[in-house]
Amino acid sequence: MLNRFTLWVILASATLTVMAGATLGPVVNLVREGLGIDPASVGFIVTTHALFVALFSPLAGSIIDRIGTKKPFMFGLVLYGLSGGSGLFIDSYWPLIVSRALLGIAVAATMNCTAVMILNLYQGAERNKVMGWRSSANNFGSVIFPLIGGGLGSLSWHMPFAIYLVGIPLAFLTLITIPQTRHEKKQDQGKEGSVFKVFKNNYILFGICGLQFLTMVFLYINVVFLPQLLETVGIADPFYISLFFMAVWLPAGLTSLMYGRIKTRLSYKMIVLTALALWTVAFAAIYQAPSVLIIAVSVVLIGIGQGLIMPTFPVWAGEIVPASFHGRIISYLSTIAHLGCFSSPILFGPVSSMLGFNGVYLVAGIICVLVFLLSLALMRK
């Protein structure tokens, strides 16, 4: 039976996922200077957790399908608070990287648990609505926490790490408010045989995974390269940089908040095409005219696209596969997503070296056009 506070705790915990990387966005330049490292290396401080989310999500998914969500969820929240908060006291590069790796393990547990909780506790239109709220909470957290991080960064580059400590009180709230959400229906067990067979019988899952990867590569282009691009147009203060992150996440949150209504009017395929079109316009605009105003308008478009697409993938995949596979399929989506996060500075670091920071957005825009055309052709077929 659902406690009336269950949804609130799930949504509050959902704010932690993107917060894991976005909190440090406004202080990327300060961390780089404080540790005396190069732009690519500071990018790994922002994205290392994503690699470990990718590595540990399949394990988290298997555990969820075996024992349910409550215990791994609480473990993830406590580890989130301890590993993320340890950055308050760390003064060198490699220990900070280790703490970010542990943070990734924590995120693997919490983000997969929240998605599976929603898939197992809600159905139909209500599921779409609540999954939209989850993405909205995630995005609103990415508005609030970077603002706080930017403000705290004005005091010290260490101070934003204190925000991660919120995971510990959320773990105690989970103990008293979250029901066990292990799916009790056994009739689905064995019908599909294996995850491989699930993918084989549902080829659209390969497309969903590819688009999930691309979405997160584009997202972390902004997290890693936007502060450095803003520095070239005269904006270096962490608080002002955080306002540009707010211009991404606030529209994303508002869009996700309306996802239930949007889904009644648009198919999953149309939602994906709309997001790709918005990103193409935004990336092209930033490349053509990297001024403060153009960047501000463009990141709003990027945020709207994110708000459309982030709730889409878990609900779409959840509708396709049997409930007994929810934990594993969601975990594979998480793996793909965070490989995208981690890969972003690897893929676009050389681009920034050759073409500059605005050149990163040129290449991203070209990729968007190609994927849009490919998706349109495949969807028509």
Mean pLDDT of 176-181: 78
pLDDT digits (tens, 9 = 90+) for 324-381: 788 888 888 888 987 887 788 889 988 988 888 888 999 999 999 999 999 888 777 6
| Closest listed residue to residue 367, CA positions, set 334, 340, 332 | 340
Task: Give tens-digit pLDDT for 153-163.
Answer: 888 889 999 99
What letter would DSSP give residue 91? Answer: -
Helix (H) or strand (E) holding 214: helix 204-232
Q: Looking at the predicted structure, is the pLDDT value of residue 183 above 70?
A: no
Q: Look up residue 238 and give its two tokens.
A: 């962490």
Measured between alpha carbons, how far is 222 from 220 in angstroms, rounded to an integer? 5
- Evaluate whether 257 touches 136 at the Cβ level (below 8 Å): yes
- Three-state SS string over 295-325 comes to HHHHHHHHHHHHHHHCCHHHHHHHHHCCHHH
Domains and CATH numbers, the chain: 6-182+191-380 (1.20.1250.20)
- Residues 54-83, mean pLDDT to the nearest whole number: 92
pTM comes to 0.76
CB of 13 closer than 8 Å to CB of 70: no
